């Protein structure tokens, strides 16, 4: 069996490294030939290419790992090369600007297929590439597809759990980046562990409320694709979104921060989309609202913390 990985950033490269032994051949598509995981060697059966048709021509499984802003364009380019029997996996964690669609919805629109799954969970690319144990989720409404991909993609260091709630999985994947920005703000302001623990807990409540309103299941957000990914991204030093939040709290301007980064911090664009979705579905998301105001330059990090603490008192559940 052959696979194609579309997107050779750090996560795409890490997947090529860990999944290489699971396939006869893997083609890793890149648009710029940049090295995002320096010092790591991809397996001999992984071929890097800048040609989408070449990447797709022998693939039975195609994994999309591009930044969300490029997803629709790339899937549109891929459409003429889709064949019967191909399965597609979205490993992009974000929401499309404007349409507010999840990545699997964008994939379905452009590729006109139902053979779609999503891959998510707590997984820093560098640790995956190092061969450290990781447990993540493969999710699809097509149960047989999720089960088949679970068997195909799992390996000695990569354990996949099957899930049948892609809405919950994708919303957890996208919105945890918003909370990671906020966690970085807490760290940058010198707030302690109490504040971060509260942020993670209340952040999970926000994510769960919106995901359920959109048709997801609360129990999904209590698992790897929700709580697991949220804890990792809010506390890990390898988190790009957390790093952006830290710099915002230290007074740096967002364009300067983003411009100095080699890789995209998805939470920056996701925050505004999450606020739009919260309003669309009439869901209260105070942390997301304050983070959006910080990103827009309409609220300082310290004022945002004060506003959150001075909100009207509520019951927890």
State both tokens at 178.
Answer: 């918003």
**Residues with a known catalytic role:** 176
Query: For the residues of 56-83, what is the DSSP string, one character each?
Result: HTT-SEEEE-S-HHHHHHHHHHHGGG--
Q: Which positions ≥6 away from 315 have C-beta within 8 Å?
A: none
The answer to whether the Cα torsion of 64, 66, 70, 74 is positive or negative is negative
Report whether 160 contacts 48 (CB < 8 A).
Answer: no
The whole-angstrom separation of Cα 91 and Cα 11 is 9
Report whether 203 contacts 171 (CB < 8 A).
Answer: no
Residue 98: which of 304, 286, 280 has the closest Cα?
280
The whole-angstrom separation of Cα 90 and Cα 11 is 12
The whole-angstrom separation of Cα 264 and Cα 258 is 8
State both tokens at 69.
Answer: 């802003």
Q: Which positions ≥6 away from 61 have C-beta within 8 Å?
A: 1, 2, 3, 4, 23, 86, 87, 88, 89, 149, 152
Q: Which long-range contacts (CB under 8 A, 24 or more apart) does 277-280 make?
A: 277/95, 277/100, 277/210, 277/214, 278/210, 280/100
The answer to whether the Cα torsion of 256, 261, 264, 270 is positive or negative is negative
């Amino acid at each position: 069996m052959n696979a194609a990985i579309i997107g050779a950033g750090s996560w795409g490269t890490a997947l090529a490294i860990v999944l290489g032994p699971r396939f006869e051949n893997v083609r890793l598509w890149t648009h710029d030939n940049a090295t995002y995981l320096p010092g790591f060697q991809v397996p001999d059966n992984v071929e890097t290419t800048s040609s989408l048709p070449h990447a797709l021509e022998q693939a039975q499984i195609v994994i999309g790992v591009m930044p969300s802003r490029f997803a629709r364009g790339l899937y549109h380019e891929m459409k003429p090369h889709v064949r019967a029997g191909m399965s597609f996996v979205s490993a992009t964690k974000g929401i499309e600007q404007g349409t507010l669609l999840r990545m699997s919805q964008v994939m379905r629109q452009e590729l006109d297929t139902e053979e779609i799954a999503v891959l998510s969970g707590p997984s820093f690319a560098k640790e995956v590439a190092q061969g450290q144990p990781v447990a993540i989720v493969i999710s699809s409404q097509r149960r047989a597809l999720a089960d088949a991909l679970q068997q195909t993609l799992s390996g000695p260091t990569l354990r996949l759990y099957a899930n049948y709630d892609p809405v919950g999985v994708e919303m957890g994947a996208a919105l945890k980046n918003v909370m990671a920005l906020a966690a970085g703000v807490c760290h940058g302001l010198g707030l302690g562990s109490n504040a971060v623990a509260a942020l993670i807990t209340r952040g999970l409540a926000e994510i769960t409320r919106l995901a359920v309103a959109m048709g997801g299941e609360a129990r999904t957000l209590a698992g790897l694709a929700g709580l697991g990914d949220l804890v990792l991204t809010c506390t890990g030093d390898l988190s790009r979104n957390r790093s952006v939040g830290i710099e915002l709290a230290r007074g740096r301007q967002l364009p300067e921060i983003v411009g100095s980064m080699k890789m995209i911090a998805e939470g920056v664009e996701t925050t505004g989309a999450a606020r739009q979705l919260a309003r669309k579905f009439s869901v209260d998301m105070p942390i997301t609202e304050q983070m959006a105001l910080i990103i827009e330059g309409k609220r300082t990090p310290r004022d945002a913390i004060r506003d959150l603490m001075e909100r009207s008192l509520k019951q927890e559940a």
